[in-house]
Amino acid sequence: MVWAGRGVAGSGFEPANFSRGQGRAPGRRRGRVTRRAETMVQQMLYRALVSTKWLAESVRSGKLGPGLRVLDASWYSPGTRQARKEYLERHVPGASFFDIEECRDTASPYEMMLPSEAGFADYVGRLGISNDTHVVVYDGDHLGSFYAPRVWWMFRVFGHRTVSVLNGGFRNWLKEGHPVTSEPSCPEPAVFKATLDRSLFKTYEQVLENLESKRFQLVDSRAQGRYLGTEPEPDAVGLDSGHIRGSINMPFMNFLTEDGFEKSPEELCAMFQAKKVDLTQPLIATCRKGVTACHIALAAYLCGKPDVAVYDGSWFEWFHRAPPETRVSQGKGGKA
């Protein structure tokens, strides 16, 4: 059963409140069982979002340190904005820069692939993050959030559950007049132990097998034109647009409001329902390079589904490895 969280997208530090009273049979025993199930879900669903107000109060009251770390995970296409330069100019006080170009498998021919367990552990340990740290991630994208959900998922796939995305991102942090600094963060290094959770991670071979077994629903988070193959992949050489056969398109931008905040759990659940995506069944998220797919994982999490897997290689790997008949496009004569 999937429980729709009502409070997790709000302003507080607490986990979601979950909808009650639906489908409950009469009787005290039934009520106890239902409440126990809700409690288990609440414990499992660590708060995925924190508000700018909550983080600002945490900064003001001096709570940042070994128990609470903030990461700026901004990244921009080459030739546009410079993420590290902007971080050095202004960022949330106490925030460290999380360089997604460094924290990846640099030996892979594919884009943004996960680093090894040891590589991730070493990288985040140098940012002062231990297994007891609550991590809050944001980025400076004009949409409100772009790369932050990827880092949120990276922590979760390496076994760390106490991680949240700053709802509204740096865009709204600035808009609301919260403090910024140009002073780089120099945290004391910590020890982080990473353990890959393979249930949240899918490989090319597993997605290929799924085309026949259909055990997982496959949802693509890219813009509709790129999914259909009618618009090109940005900044791509030798990569046509299109999608994996059988995948459903849910552009990640639609999960965000015009002001850059995550939509409410009720709205998100309605979006999945409209696309006939069953959140009681297994789900794999994909995109171009495993980044915006994490928005699907986050949106489903806010609907009470914490087990969405991300196909790390996504369309970039699929295009270069998969049989042509598994690549669908309305451009270039049909097959991508």
Antiparallel, parallel or unpaired: β 96-97 and 68-72: parallel
Q: Can you tell me the distance from the alpha carbon of 58 to that of 68, in angstroms, rounded to the nearest whole number?
A: 9
Q: Can you tell me the distance from the alpha carbon of 70 to that of 86, in angstroms, rounded to the nearest whole number?
A: 16
pLDDT digits (tens, 9 = 90+) for 255-301: 999 999 999 999 999 999 999 999 999 999 999 999 999 999 999 99
Cβ contact 121:130 at 8 Å: no
pLDDT at 168: 98
pLDDT of 6 above 60: no
pLDDT at 30: 45
Q: Can you tell me the distance from the alpha carbon of 2 to that of 233, in angstroms, rounded to the nearest whole number?
A: 35
287 is catalytic: yes
Q: Find the mean pLDDT for residues 1-18.
A: 34
pLDDT of 38 above 70: no
Q: Find the mean pLDDT for residues 112-121.
A: 95
pLDDT digits (tens, 9 = 90+) for 45-79: 689 999 999 999 999 999 999 999 999 999 998 88
pLDDT at 332: 61
Number of other residues whose CB lies within 10 A of the CB of residue 111: 18
Catalytic residue among 103, 287, 294, 303: 287
* Among the ranges given (41-50, 103-112, 164-173, 317-326), the one the predictor scored with the smallest mean pLDDT: 41-50
pLDDT of 222 above 80: yes
Mean pLDDT score of the chain: 88
pLDDT band at 336 (very low <50, low <70, confident <90, very high): very low
pLDDT at 13: 34
pLDDT at 105: 86
pLDDT at 236: 81
pLDDT digits (tens, 9 = 90+) for 160-175: 999 999 999 999 999 9
pLDDT of 23 above 90: no
pLDDT of 219 above 90: yes
Q: List Cα–Cα distances, 207 to 139, 198, 219, in angstroms.
A: 29, 13, 12
What is the side-by-side order of every strand in the sheet holding 163-166? 49-50, 163-166, 134-138, 68-72, 96-97
pTM for the model stands at 0.87
Q: Could you give the domains of the chain? A: 44-176 (3.40.250.10), 201-328 (3.40.250.10)
